[in-house]
Amino acid sequence: MSNLSLLLRLTFLACFFFTCNHSGERTSPASASRLLPSGKMSYMLPHLRSGWAVDQAILNEENKVVVIRFGHDENETCMQMDEILYKISEDVRNFAAIYLVDTTEVPDFNVMYELYDECTCMFFFRNKHIMIDLGTGNNNKINFLISDKQEMIDIIETVYRGARKGRGLVVSPKDYSTRYRY
């Protein structure tokens, strides 16, 4: 066996062991609960903890839609939204980056974006706010729960396709005018 192929095999084994240990840790409920802040459900999406971090996330993303969920982390509706966003984050990762912002922790945008709802999703592309016509009369944001994963993927994909063509307003694939709003 050549030195190179021995090295490759050793590297492979090392990676294999590391991955096993790593995923073993992640699936252990005991250690998972230790990682979570007490009393707060956390879906492993990145939080932006300051106004500066929000600005940087929007400014630094050149090719993807930046989806920001503004809201209250501990609100149950918001947690359901976070769960949906978390579940689709892998599916949309080539064209969208999803972040969470707790509007109590980071109140900087509350007035500017009128973030009075418990849970609001907004879209940005190349430092521009992208509006979406959902049939609700509010094109600035999604301020109701989208509980269907595929619907959320379709919305983000529509925003991405429109924004790349230079549009500042896109039309949602589905009309939500009859949807329960809060």
Ligand X SMILES: *[C@@H]1O[C@H](CO)[C@@H](O)[C@H](O)[C@H]1NC(C)=O
Residues that bind ligand X (CB under 6 A): 75-77, 117-118, 182
* Distance separating alpha carbons of residues 140 and 132, to the nearest angstrom: 6
Residue nearest to ligand X (CB): 118
Query: Cβ 182 to ligand X, closest distance in Å?
Result: 4
Residue 69 to residue 161: CA distance in whole angstroms: 20
Least distance (Å) between residue 11 CB and ligand X = 49
Q: Which is nearer to ligand X, 42 or 75 (CB)?
A: 75
Q: Which is nearer to ligand X, 140 or 157 (CB)?
A: 140
Indicate if the alpha-carbon torsion angle 152, 156, 161, 166 is positive or negative: positive
> Smaller CB distance to ligand X: residue 140 or 167?
140
Nearer to ligand X, 95 or 113 (CB): 113
Q: How far apart are CB 75 and ligand X at their closest, in Å?
A: 4
CA angle 100/103/106 to nearest 5° reads 90
Q: Check residue 108 and report its DSSP letter.
A: G
HSE toward the beta carbon, residue 148, CA cutoff 13 A: 7
| Nearest approach, Cβ of residue 72 and ligand X (Å) | 7
